[in-house]
Amino acid sequence: MTIAENIRMLREKIAVAAVKSGRKPEDITLVAASKMNPAERVREAILGGVDAVGENRVQEMLEKHGLGAYEGKPLHFIGHLQSNKVRQVVGVCDLIESVDSETLVAEIGKRASALGLTQDILLEVNIGREENKSGVLRENLDKLLEYAAQTPGIRVRGLMAIPPITGNNGKKPNYFDEMYKLYVDITAKKYDNISMHFLSMGMSDSYIDAIEAGANMVRIGSAIFGARHY
Ligand SMILES: *Cc1c(COP(=O)(O)O)cnc(C)c1O
């Protein structure tokens, strides 16, 4: 299967899940999670019709960016972001999906303001309460939202999560449901400066469950590019 064929098949399945959950196929943003795939393959995914490209590692992203890999589509940062790398990401990425602390919000806001721009971000939630995993715990989310709402140079566009892999025991969709509930609750609270547009969750093995639970952004790697060889 070529990358374009994989994307065509994914789009069909995404469309079914979207309609099943009362949305239109085009309401779902398909992000190609491109880590470890060279610029030519990222180009293939863009030509194949993904909506955006996501990268995990700053250095790898900058190299591919320099090769023009992302031209024509939004670039998302989806990996763990260290404060000392913020300046290399702000203004290069259209959306930073993995923001999980006041320190990061402050650094991103400072850098964006210095560049005279507003950086769109998602707040990453550690919905499975996993130790050593990125993301804010849900009980700290309101505080982080309030902080982000007051930070110049920042615009929060929604939430992101990477729920734990729990096998096929039916548990994983519950995390997606919990995320959707958080997303709806925050929307209802109407924070100043915060517009909840995106709920980013679901990967190659879970995007159908995620969409059916209310995700409108999925990050898909191996189902587009094939298995990664570390
Ligand atoms: C790699 C990655 C994905 C995609 O994973 P696949 O299982 O290959 O679809 C999604 N989100 C993040 C944050 C990733 O690092």
DSSP 31-79: EEE-TT--HHHHHHHHHTT-SEEEES-HHHHHHHHHTTTTTTS-EEE-S
* CB within 8 Å of 217: residues ≥ 6 apart: 28, 29, 31, 158, 160, 198, 199, 200, 201
**pLDDT band at residue 166 using 50, 70 and 90 as cut-offs:** low
Atom of ligand 1 nearest to the CA of 160: 13
Q: Is 203 in the pocket of ligand 1 (CB under 6 A)?
A: yes
How far, in whole angstroms, is CA 37 from its chain's centroid?
18
Q: How far is CA 212 from each of CA 24, 76, 180, 196, 229, rounded to the nearest angstrom?
A: 12, 23, 10, 18, 30
In tens, the pLDDT along 88-120 reads 999 999 999 999 999 999 999 999 999 999 999
* CB within 8 Å of 22: residues ≥ 6 apart: none
Atom of ligand 1 nearest to the CA of 31: 10
Distance from the alpha carbon of residue 202 to the mean position of ligand 1, in angstroms: 8
Q: Is 33 in the pocket of ligand 1 (CB under 6 A)?
A: yes
Atom of ligand 1 nearest to the CA of 223: 9
Distance from the alpha carbon of residue 203 to the mean position of ligand 1, in angstroms: 6
**pLDDT band at residue 193 using 50, 70 and 90 as cut-offs:** confident
The answer to whether the beta carbons of residues 122 and 158 sit under 8 Å apart is: yes
In tens, the pLDDT along 2-11 reads 999 999 999 9
Look up the pTM and report it: 0.96
Instruction: Count CB neighbours of 205 within 10 A.
Output: 13
The answer to whether the beta carbons of residues 136 and 148 sit under 8 Å apart is: no
Distance from the alpha carbon of residue 213 to the mean position of ligand 1, in angstroms: 18
How far apart, in Å, do the first and last CA atoms of the chain sit?
Answer: 21
* CB within 8 Å of 41: residues ≥ 6 apart: 3, 34, 225
Tokens for 166, please give them.
């729990």
Atom of ligand 1 nearest to the CA of 207: 9
From CA 200, how far away is CA 197, in angstroms rounded? 10
Domains annotated for the chain, with CATH where assigned, are 3-220 (3.20.20.10)
Atom of ligand 1 nearest to the CA of 205: 7
Distance from the alpha carbon of residue 192 to the mean position of ligand 1, in angstroms: 31
The preferred substitution site among 78, 208, 209, 217 for testing ligand 1, maximizing ligand atoms within 8 Å of CB, is 78
**pLDDT band at residue 190 using 50, 70 and 90 as cut-offs:** confident
Q: Is 35 in the pocket of ligand 1 (CB under 6 A)?
A: yes
